[in-house]
Amino acid sequence: MGVLCSVIRFENLHELKRLCHWGPIIALGVIAICSTMAMIDSVLWYWPLHTTGGSVNFIMLINWTVMILYNYFNAMFVGPGYVPLKWKPEKAQDSMYLQFCKVCQAYKAPRSHHCRKCNRCVMKMDHHCPWINNCCGYQNHASFTLFLLLAPLGCIHAAFIFVMTMYTQLYNRISFGWNTVKIDMSAVKRDPLPIIPFGLSAFAASLFALGLAVGTTIAVGMLFFIQMKVILRNKTSIESWIEEKAKDRIQYYQTAESFVFPYDMGSRWQNFKQVFTWSGIPEGDGLEWPIREGCHPYSLTIEQLKQKADKRVRSVRYKVIDDYSGACCPFNKGIKTFFTTPCTEEPRISLKKGELILVTRGLRHWMYGDKILDHLTTEDGSRIRGWFPRKCVEKCHYDAESDQISEGEKKNR
């Protein structure tokens, strides 16, 4: 595809700092181990200089590595694309359909969301991926998805080489340091080749690389199918979640309205071409998007505003009764709290006794909410929100009349 013909654009040298994160370190480590061991084992199993098949096998290994790294770095350094700071819609009246980001001092363009990690509004944001230490969005969605496809394919090839190398070496020559085992297996013997020692350490390294290759194939392959599922519907992971919440909201309030996702073009091929193009540059400008017939240009953002208003109505106020330092896995809040910490990169917030929290969601032992700052805001205009232990707060008491929404009000929303 055209994306493979484009050049990685290092727009800012400071982007190199993205490599200093546990996600890229682990991902590049796995790629390096599997690729290096596959090339070494391919020399042992299928000498590349004597046969055409061996040469093709070795070239394919190098090709997998180059394409995987190309798309990986493309996804990391090109990035998703950000909504310009202080951006406004061309028509002033359209701003009523959009949310305003206090951090970026701009309206959130359709399909964009603010990422707390990147601290910017990301165009067509799918999610923030720790493995590339960047967001997956408008500009790098194709490269990210190609990486998810190529990594399992390369690992399958490498795993086959690991298995065949260990198989032939076990029956041709095994040197564990204390003796050499030789078994006459004519079915697997090859023409005499330069002998490369294959001892216990080489066997252990090949076995370890095989485990990494198999694990990567399963894990990354599942992520690829998830991504293709949303791409063929011209959605993102966030938009799929918004659509689910829209159904829940309509059902909860028992309204006669219906929500139709506006960006599904009705054809999987048309949806596919919204992300993958021969030029490598996705369609559109990341701010305006084609919509299906009969839908309002701001159908999705209008639904987001409704959900935001509904979230404020259904949120519950809690008072802090015990201090919390903001630790990811606090030891002093109980064993259950320690072992059930949310598996997410969303932040934890420190609490002080007497503070008020507006809780929007929760688990059995953890809750998520915003601090009520009494009309005070942080310097950059952002909110203080995150996870905290449930046992650190207690629900504020309200009058029965104000604590519940009447059935008549539900139907009128």
Assign residue 352 the CATH number of its domain: 2.30.30.40
- Where a domain ends, among 190, 206, 231? 231
CA atoms within 13 A on the CB side of 336: 7
Cβ atoms of residues 114 and 104 within 8 Å: yes
Q: Give yes or no for residue 169 having a pLDDT over 90.
A: no
Rounded Cα distance, 310 and 361, in Å: 13
CA distance 20 to 199: 35
Does residue 70 surpass a pLDDT of 70?
A: yes
pLDDT category at 401 given cuts 50, 70, 90 is very low
Tell me the per-residue pLDDT of 291-331, one tens digit each, with 9 for 90 and over: 988 888 899 999 999 999 888 888 899 999 999 999 988 98
Sign of the torsion formed by the C-alpha atoms of 401, 404, 405 and 408: negative
Last residue of a domain, one of 208, 231, 254: 231
Residue (of 179, 218, 159) closest to 33 by Cα position: 159
Tell me if 327 sits within 8 A of 338, measured CB to CB: no
Domain that includes residue 226, residue range: 2-81+138-231
pLDDT at residue 8, as a whole number: 46
- For residue 63, give the nearest of 166, 159, 160, 158 by alpha carbon: 158
Task: Say yes or no: 225 and 356 in one domain.
Answer: no
**Which of 25-29, 75-79, 257-261, 269-273 is predicted least confidently?**
257-261
Two structure tokens written together for 199:
């001892």
- Which tokens go with 310? 């509904």
Task: Write down the mean pLDDT value for the chain.
Answer: 84
129 as an active site residue: the answer is: yes
Same domain (yes/no): 183, 52: yes
Neighbours of 112 (CB within 10 A): 30
222 in a structural domain: yes
Structure tokens belonging to residue 142: 């194709």
| Other CB atoms within 10 Å distance of the CB of residue 401 | 7
Question: Quick check: is 127 in a domain?
Answer: no
Q: Which pair of tokens denotes residue 129?
A: 């991926």
Overall average pLDDT of the 231-250 stretch? 92
DSSP 342: -
342 in the same domain as 270: no
367 and 408 part of one domain: yes
Which residues are 319's β-sheet partners? 356, 394
Q: What percentage of the chain reaches a pLDDT higher than 90?
A: 56
Residues 207 and 164 in one domain: yes
Q: Residues 6 or more apart from 181 whose CB is under 8 A from it?
A: 173, 174
Catalytic residue among 115, 129, 135, 155: 129
H helix runs in 113-179, sequence order: 141-172
**How many distinct helices (H) and strands (E) make up the chain?**
10, 13
CB 105 within 8 A of CB 86: yes
Range scoring the smallest mean pLDDT among 132-136, 146-150, 189-193, 209-213: 189-193
Coil vs helix vs strand at 30? helix
Residue that wins the pLDDT comparison between 344 and 92: 92
Asked whether residue 24 is domain-assigned, the answer is yes
Q: Are residues 116 and 243 located together in one domain of the fold?
A: yes
Query: What whole-number distance in Å separates Cα of residue 20 and Cα of residue 153?
Result: 27
Task: Let me know the angle formed at the C-alpha of 117 by 128 and 23, rounded to the nearest 5 degrees.
Answer: 60
Residue 327 near residue 389 (C-beta atoms within 8 A): no
Q: Beta strand pairing status for 316-320 and 180-181?
A: unpaired
Contact 259, 287 (CB under 8 A): no
Same domain, 301 and 359: no
Calculate helix-pair angle for 200-231, 22-45, nearest 10 degrees: 120
Domain count, the chain: 3
- Residue 246 and residue 352 in one domain: no
Q: Is the pLDDT of residue 183 over 60?
A: no
Residue 97 tokens, joined? 């359909």
> What pLDDT score was predicted for residue 235?
93
Longest Cα separation, the chain: 89
CA–CA separation, 186 and 66 (whole Å): 37
CA 358 to chain centre: 27
Q: What is the pLDDT of residue 77?
A: 92
